[in-house]
Structure 1
């Protein structure tokens, strides 16, 4: 992190899918309200992704920063921590690089944020043929009324409904988190030492950081019917590490943990 405190950093995680990342970055450029910077948190992609980021950086409307680590398997918790360490914003919005963001995505997150809270959102699923068409055409024209989407109601944008549901929707469900669409105050991430890098492989790192944030006294807010994202189809990732990751999550719940040992403080002077 540099010494200039910005307001909003958008962290985009990616791994070896530059075709999807292109659409994600196109949607960022089309936002009505831009973040102050975009951090690409890259879990070991090949040069194709670097070349794409360099192409976008030439005329990107805000600083576009590429944070890369060697490919050592699925290390999402680690690269998110490195992205957070590189970020200069006091508020961190986190997405995956296979999303197309609604034009008001960042504006909705800014409207929704409150002290002593963190936010998780939802997503609209784009089916395989529509995803392939969008990628092939390099287009981001997708919305609530488009064909080829699932979870259609998640594409609805309503200030009234989002405000009503914020602290009512699935509040007691520790498994309801969407790591692809979350937001935090950076100072709160520092308190809990960021993501727990004991998690490797797919799953539960987002649930576990949420539990630790709640254990420090924060409240979870669900940003339903706002901050809409559209998720490009891809085959399901391996769940081979899920049982082990579930055990780590259950330990955090049982021991009321607030911090983690292997976390953000490896990369930044907290």
Structure 2
């Protein structure tokens, strides 16, 4: 009779990976963390990939990141513009100037590719920590400080949290906040938000040591347009030997409403293709050559 392994074991790359390889990798990673001289200590880079997103959503994201209670001089906000139209690119650059964020402009010809967009910044990141976020998130003021505190307590981990969806009815308010350059009332908005799936660890926004991103060569650049690249990198971190933890009790985050698949033609088809690729691919390290070159 064939023994059926628990889902936890098979999903993490099999029994041998879970019981032997992952613990060995954890031991090696812990040793490498002792030598972080290549990175700016205690500092964090927040990577935001965008295309044609110089709107109220990006402004509100930047506004709440700029208002974090973590020391501002230790936060590097990096917006990577991947092939935006000229007007949108200028608008994004203006917002970055306003919020003291760094902007990287890539040609980004062809279809949207979040992994290539984010990886360009990831490969060049010089801070100890790195956080990947979407350009439609809203954060409470303690989000980054809680994320970094959690990583210092449990260094072999990836930090996630719960995402709450804002309804379409909140769009006029969010646009007004942006237009008038007002602070985002996070606590009030959270009261109206609805819980999204994925439990306490939504895969779209997360942070860990920059060393770990580089170890697996960032996002898999085979994923194009929309879907599954976040789940993929999450599973690869797990197979590497890291644990997923959530800061939900202390800090959640909000998602600003927009039409599903906005900006992506045939997004349903691309999501299906990406899901098939995700289910068939289980290696930890990807992008064998030339990753992070845009």
Q: Calculate the TM-score normalised by the size of structure 1.
A: 0.78
Q: How many residues align?
A: 243
Distance 2:183 2:254 in 1: 10
* Aligned residue runs from structure 1 range 134-145, under 5 A: 134-138=174-178, 139-145=182-188
- The corresponding residue for 2:170 is 130
Q: Answer 1 or 2: which has greater helix percent.
A: 2
- Aligned pair 1:248/2:277, yes or no? yes
Unaligned runs of 5+ in 2: 1-37, 262-266
- Aligned pair 1:95/2:138, yes or no? no
Distance 2:277 2:45 in 1: 29
- Aligned pair 1:64/2:89, yes or no? no
* CA deviation after TM superposition for structure 1 residue 217, in Å: 1.2
Summarize deviations over 1:210-254 as a string: whole Å, max 9, x none. 21111121111123233432211100012221222112211234x
* CA deviation after TM superposition for structure 1 residue 107, in Å: 1.1
Unaligned runs of 5+ in 1: 155-168
4+ residue segments displaced more than 6 Å: none
Aligned to 1:42, which of 41, 58, 81? 81
* Aligned residue runs from structure 1 range 9-28, under 5 A: 9-19=45-55, 20-28=57-65
- The corresponding residue for 2:222 is 198
Distance 2:79 2:133 in 1: 10
C-alpha contact (below 8 Å) 1:125/1:230 kept by paired residues? yes
Distance 1:243 1:80 in 2: 22
Q: Calculate the TM-score normalised by the size of structure 2.
A: 0.72
RMSD over aligned Cα, in angstroms?
A: 2.9
Q: Which moved more, 1:257-266 or 1:7-16?
A: 257-266
- The corresponding residue for 2:40 is 5
